[in-house]
Structure 1
Amino acid sequence: MKKHLLLLTLLLLNSSAFAQQISPESIDTIFSEWNQTDVPGGAVAVIQNGEIVFSEGYGLADMEHDIVINPSTVFYIGSVSKQFVTFSILLLEEQGKLDLDDEIQEFLPDFPKYEAPLTIRHFIHHTSGVRDYLTLMNLKGRSYLDHTEMEEAYELIKNQDELNFTPGERYLYSNSCYLMLAMIVEKAAGMSIKEFAEKEIFSPLGMDDTQFYDDITDLVKNRAFSYSNNDDGFDNLVSRFDLVGSGGIYSTVEDLYLWDQNFYDNQLGEGYQAIIDTMQTDGKLNNGESSEYAFALVNDTYRGLKTVSHSGSLAGYRAYYTRFPDQEFSVIILSNRSDGNPSSKAYQIADLYLSDQLETEQPLSSEQTESIEAPIPEPLNLDQVAGDYLVNASLLISFSVDQDSLMGYEHWNDAAYSLSHVEGNTYLANDGTEVTFTFKSLEDGQTSDLVINVNGNQMRGTRADIQDLSTDDLLSYSGLYYSTELDVNYELMLKEEKLHLKIGFNSPEELTPIPNDEFLVGNRMLRFERDQNGELEGFRLDAGRVTNLKFMKQ
């Protein structure tokens, strides 16, 4: 009898060691729009208790040659690559070749010094204030899909007169930091990050189909090509991008499974588990608060369970890797379609496998609770929520009413969609993203505030006051404006009685005037400055990961 009780106790204590049986058809349903013979799709691996319990490919890797995706298909993984950069840095620290608190100039002596020191640690946790080079390239009129030499990107970063903020003051994602971390790996290791990662990470783990892709002329066997969706189907989204550090890795879900397992039993470097603990530790701001970003890993929770994750994207590639460490459960999804949204699919899979451990609803943080407390008790009519809202200071979203339905339009990416009512004054975008919009704070018969929830992360907006300026007023802003930091002219011109911005050979973009000499265009804000006589001197530009960029009127 005691033996039977002991066996029952052991079974109960170790019930998590037995994978919950989920039918393949249940997962296939999640990928139904990918599981077709004439569309791009992706590959998925579900890992539980050290084993791949489900892996599958959906859709086409190459639409021109009808090559199907399977778990061995190679995808570009975007910013999921960053964790291999930080692990390389930690291996070099373990070897005594660098310290996380070393200043950047110790390895890159030609990098400018600002008022406060910049360290490797600042770069790892995105607390440096260094402007994002991909944003700078876009502001210069360059496409991220074009081939760019490492030297050109580095010179652009070095040419910035100021930082976005004092190092350590706050978190702001910057691809520049990881481009330069790859350069630091090369300086400290005496070999490229491609060679170092192959020697110290990929080869020891048996990740034979994984590489840092630093030469556009190299071949990648079994590669999935990337596509963007349009009204008629899909277009090629051809990328000639081969910079590494901020991204750069091609891999498979099968190879990333090997990387996933190393978090539980480190086989790399000196084999200590301490390096894994460090990898998963959030950085600190100057005030001691968490930066909420570890070593290219994001610690979070999903429906009450701890998660460690990161996403990646470039061209039409989308990647998401999330791990539930306490459950030894992970989902890896790699996609070659721009509308892939793998993060949403990953958590739908988690809902299936961890249903008996997940809380019914995702609990809100105190900050989230504060942001939506005291909601308007009754659903408002659509005319009361319709209008223009400014999100994160520079993004304009317009809501309108069309035949008793609420419609959304995002000006920065020209995205339009209908919305469905969820409850109260919360609406869901009908575009497959599962983004919700909650309208708040009724003033003069209209809502004045907006909370946008994107996979548990929130952005806040306020109703925008769009100005109606005369043609003469708009004409006064026209002319050439030059940035020494970008080495580029912006031309402001009047076109069809609207002010437009033209950069190089790109098509002109319409500017939307708001109060205080400010204009919105795409995801950017132009803040005009005047001299003591009221004459225009130039403007400062904010664009998300780049702030306060100076342009002078010519």
Structure 2
Amino acid sequence: MNFLKSTNIPHLLFLLLVLGSCGKDKSKKSDEKVVVEDTLPKMKPLLHEKKLTASYVNSVKPRIAHFYNKLWPNNTMNGGFLVAKNGQVIFEKYNGYANRSKKTDITKDTPLHIASVSKVLTATAVLKLVDANKIQLDQKVNTILKTFPYPEVTVRMLLNHRSGMRQYSYFTDRNKEIWDRHNQLTNADILNIMATKDIGLEYKTGTRFMYCNTNYAMLALIIEKTTGLTYPVAMKEMIFKPLGMKNTYVFDFEKDKKTAVPSYKGNNVQIGWDYLDSVYGDKNIYSTPRDLLKFDRARNSPEFLNKNLRKQIYVGYSNEHKGRKNYGLGIRMINWETGQNFYFHNGWWHGNTSSYITLQKENVTIIALSNKFTRTTYAVRKLVPIFGDYPFGFHDEE
């Protein structure tokens, strides 16, 4: 049979046109890029702070220089030191080797490991997620991380170290059946071990303060679960990139172990990597004093958080017994009976030591980073009486 003769030609042409147009529409749709709305809460720079007068700078700079020379005579600091007010650098120094074997100098652009000062940045990302109603401050952790085994622990308790959890470095170090130290430990591994190996609490949840890195390793996982991004990417997108922190990154063991600035003992012996160097949130951010200055000013911006949430950062959560030392939400503090408050965070990992000080009333930022072990880094707090009524003296005991 002749097909053309037995078929209605106009109907056939119509059918071919319809099929052709459907094919084009399908092809067109497959070529279209799907635009996903970016709902990440991001830090914003603090702009237009009051410019310092030359007379003010000239009055305080010599005093800072004198302090620096007493603390590190003959430029013996191996790191970076910065003092700023209103976001404007008054004094900074960079000395020593980033890598002793290669004789590379530390400069203003050299990222150094900031150790536990990383906790301030992790807490900042978590608080931004709370402010954006992505998570709740008093939300149970096991509603976010489904295998988390401690039912009473909340996000707030991770931030203020009242979860009662044990240090991951302890329960992975002493028992080969729990963890083989020949393998790199990750945040996900810590969660899995706690969920499957019957790791008990050190203290009953909520009964006392105990500074514990496990809290911040879990907060990093909460950031990942909430944003759908890895912690390094989330931190970059929420904090580092919006603030122009170009020399700041989260350490990736496989990617960065050959290029990251190493750390040293006090006798200049290099300290090698170990099985804990893949855990982040509690540590493992590399940065510079100048980048941390940008971060500090953004944290002091009215746009950082809503007023109620911001106040809760600086409430002391660690005084079971009356005392001056306290801990808020990702920040250490000293509260004197006079009503004066001092906010800071120190860090120590391998040979790296760090100190971050934020004088809120005076808009002063003090940062010290070192990749050669020394407790002198923490002594920069003794500089603050230059700027306000803080009862520190140069010869104060640490």
TM over 0.5: yes
Partners of 1:171 and 1:291 within 8 A in 2: no
Q: Deviations 1:88-136 (Å, cap 9, x if unpaired)?
A: 112112222211111111112112246xx11111111111111110222
Task: Please tell me whether residue 320 in structure 1 is matched to residue 355 in structure 2.
Answer: yes
The aligned counterpart of 1:249 is 285
Tell me the distance in 2 between the aligned counterparts of 1:212 and 1:125: 22
Deviation at 1:35, TM superposition (A): 2.0
How far does residue 361 in structure 1 lie from its aligned partner after superposition? 6.4
Instruction: Give the distance between the partners of 1:63 and 1:283, measured in 2 at CA.
Output: 42
Alignment of 1:190-209 (within 5 A): 190-209=228-247
CA distance in 2, matches of 1:313, 1:197: 21
The 1-side partners of 2:183 and 2:116 are apart by 18
* Structure 2 counterpart SS, 1:292: strand
2:269 pairs with 213, 235, 244, which one? 235
Change (3 A) 1:262 1:151: closer
**Which residue is 1:18 aligned to?**
56
Where in structure 2 are there 5+ consecutive unaligned residues?
1-51
- Tell me the distance in 2 between the aligned counterparts of 1:59 and 1:314: 18
CA distance in 2, matches of 1:94, 1:360: 35
Query: Cα deviation per residue 1:305-360 (whole Å; 9 max; x = unaligned)?
Result: 5210001111110001112222222210000111243111x123335x33x74448
Question: What is the root-mean-square deviation of aligned Cα atoms in Å?
Answer: 3.5
Alignment partners' CA distance in 2, 1:348 and 1:172: 26
Q: CA deviation at 1:284?
A: 7.1
- Bigger CA radius of gyration: 2
Q: Against the structure 1 CA distance between its residues 258 and 146, is the aligned structure 2 distance closer, same or farther, given a 3 Å change threshold? A: farther
* TM-superposed deviation, 1:262: 1.5
Amino acid at match of 1:174: C
Q: Closer, same or farther in 2 for the Cα pair 1:360/1:181, shift >3 Å?
A: closer
Aligned letter for 2:354? Answer: A
1:47 is matched with 84
Classify 1:124/1:308 alpha carbon distance in 2 versus 1 (closer, same or farther; 3 Å): same
Instruction: Show the counterpart of 2:24.
Output: none
Contact 1:283 1:291 (C-alpha < 8 Å) held by counterparts: no
SS in 1 for 2:367: strand
The one-letter amino acid of 1:22's match is K
TM-score normalised over the length of structure 2: 0.75
The 8 Å contact of residues 210 and 255 in structure 1, kept in 2 or not, is answered as yes
For 1:400-459, what per-residue CA distance to the aligned partner results, in whole angstroms no more than 9, with x for missing partners?
xxxxxxxxxxxxxxxxxxxxxxxxxxxx9xxxxx75xxxxxxxxxxxxxxxxxxx3xxxx
1:32 to partner: Cα distance: 3.0
The structure 1 residue matched to 2:72, chosen from 7, 20, 32, is 32
Q: Which residue of 1 aligns with 2:222?
A: 184
Which consecutive residues of structure 1, in runs of 5 or more, have no partner in the other structure? Answer: 1-13, 363-427, 429-433, 436-454, 456-554
Cα separation, partners in 2 of 1:228 and 1:196, compared to 1, 3 Å: same
- Following TM superposition, by how much is the alpha carbon of 1:274 offset from its aligned partner in structure 2, in angstroms? 4.8
Among 167, 173, 185, the residue aligned to 1:138: 173
Match of 2:330, SS state, is coil
Rounded Cα–Cα distance in structure 1 between residues aligned with 2:264 and 2:321: 43
Higher relative contact order (Cα pairs below 8 Å, separated by 6+ residues): 2
Higher mean alpha-carbon deviation, 194-203 vs 141-150, is at: 141-150
**Pairing of 1:28-427 with structure 2 (within 5 A):** 28-32=68-72, 35-36=75-76, 41-113=78-150, 117-140=152-175, 147-158=184-195, 159-218=197-256, 223-229=260-266, 233-240=267-274, 241-268=277-304, 272=306, 274-283=308-317, 292-301=326-335, 305-344=340-379, 346-351=380-385, 353-354=386-387, 357-359=389-391
SS in 2 for 1:100: coil
Aligned CA distance change for structure 1 residues 291 and 106 (closer, same or farther; 3 Å)? farther
Q: How many Å separate the matches in 2 of 1:124 and 1:262?
A: 20
* Partner-residue secondary structure (3-state), 1:18: helix
Distance 2:149 2:324 in 1: 27
Which amino acid is 2:103 matched to? D
1:279, distance to aligned residue in structure 2 (A)? 2.8
Equivalent AA in structure 1 for residue 61 of structure 2: I
Kindly indicate which of the two structures has a greater share of residues assigned to strand. Answer: 1
Match of 2:16 in 1: none
Q: Residue 41 of structure 1 contacts residue 340 of structure 1 at CA under 8 Å; is this kept in 2?
A: no
Cα distance change of structure 1 residues 242 and 31 upon mapping to structure 2, 3 Å threshold: farther
Residue 226 and residue 284 in structure 1: after superposition, are their counterparts in 2 closer, same or farther (change >3 A)?
closer
Go from structure 1 to structure 2 and tell me whether the alpha carbon gap of 1:173 and 1:60 turns closer, same or farther (over 3 Å shift). Answer: same
> Secondary structure at the residue paired with 2:341?
strand
Amino acid at match of 1:32: W
- Aligned 8 A contact 2:324 2:336 in 1: no
The total of aligned residue pairs comes to: 339
Pair 290,216 (structure 1): closer, same or farther in 2 beyond 3 Å: farther
Superimposed CA distance per residue, residues 249-301 of structure 1 (whole angstroms, 9 cap, x where no aligned partner): 11000000001112331455xx6455543332333789999993111101215
Q: Quote how far apart the aligned CAs of 1:184 are.
A: 1.1
Matched residue type, 2:288:
T
- Runs of 4+ with deviation above 4 angstroms: 141-146, 271-275, 284-291, 301-305, 358-362
Structure ranking higher in helix proportion: 2
Matched residue SS, 1:265: coil
Matches within 5 A, 1:464-503: none
Q: TM-score, normalised by structure 1?
A: 0.55
